[in-house]
Amino acid sequence: MYLRGVNSRTTVTSVALANGPTWKEEGAKVFHSAPHTYSKVVSKGVSLNGGTSVYRGLVYVREGAKYAKSSVSCESLILDDKSRAYTIPP
């Protein structure tokens, strides 16, 4: 998402289900390029039966984007000992 106008807003919601020997990726990139911008990123991952879910995210506030605000929430549910979940960057 590119927030280029004053008072621009965005919400990104993602869900990943990694069931079985799979690798599922989800995430968002948000670029704040104007003043008074707001972003909200919500990510949910579920891993089971040896699956791996990965969240990759980036929030970048460019010069001149004064008073930019962002909220990032990343939650993972791992349902067995064979499954994994990663958040990048940690």
- pLDDT tens, N- to C-terminus, the chain (90 residues): 999 999 999 999 999 999 999 999 999 999 999 999 999 999 999 999 999 999 999 999 999 999 999 999 999 999 999 999 999 986
The answer to whether the bond into 89 is cis (omega within 30° of 0) is yes
Domain count, the chain: 1
Q: What is the pTM of this model?
A: 0.87
| pLDDT for position 60 | 97
Q: What is the pLDDT of residue 61?
A: 98
Among 37, 40, 46, 38, which residue's Cα sits nearest to residue 28?
40
Domain span at residue 34 reads 2-88
User: 23: closest CA among 54, 46, 45?
Assistant: 54
